[in-house]
């Protein structure tokens, strides 16, 4: 937990954020961030995922790893830009004939669309 607190402080310094602004960005109460920084509470999985899904550029592996000394500015630590992945998929789809699309829902059901 101490490593997570160190990493959270590194992240706040790198992004030039205070706890209040950081909590707004990731969508949690200000007290949640304050309690984690003070060591009163441990971060929940939901809290960590909110950091990862936010606009803040941080790698989930770095955030969860036990190595507090690992450099946040390392090239292996920035998360991939999602737009890049989406653009690659779109280019792939444009060049092929689509025969069928299957959509899977979180309840385990699915729907198939045929051309």
pLDDT tens digits for range 76-104: 344 444 554 445 555 555 656 777 888 88
Domains, the chain, ranges and CATH? 2-77 (1.10.260.40), 82-114 (no CATH)
pTM above 0.75, yes or no: no
- 3-state SS track over 53-74: HCCCCCCHHHHHCCCCCCCCCC
pLDDT tens digits for range 40-60: 999 999 999 899 888 777 888
Please report which confidence band the pLDDT of residue 61 belongs to, taking 50, 70 and 90 as the band edges: confident
């Amino acid at each position: 937990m101490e490593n997570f607190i160190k990493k959270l402080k590194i992240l706040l310094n790198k992004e030039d954020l205070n706890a209040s602004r950081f909590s707004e960005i990731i969508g949690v109460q200000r007290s949640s961030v304050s309690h984690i920084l003070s060591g009163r509470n441990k971060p929940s999985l939901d809290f960590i995922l909110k950091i990862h899904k936010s606009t803040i550029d941080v790698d989930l592996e770095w955030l969860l790893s036990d190595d507090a000394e690992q450099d946040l500015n390392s090239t292996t630590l920035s998360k991939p830009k999602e737009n890049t992945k989406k653009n690659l998929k779109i280019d792939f789809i444009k060049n092929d004939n689509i025969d069928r699309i299957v959509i899977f829902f979180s309840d385990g059901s699915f729907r198939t669309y045929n051309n």
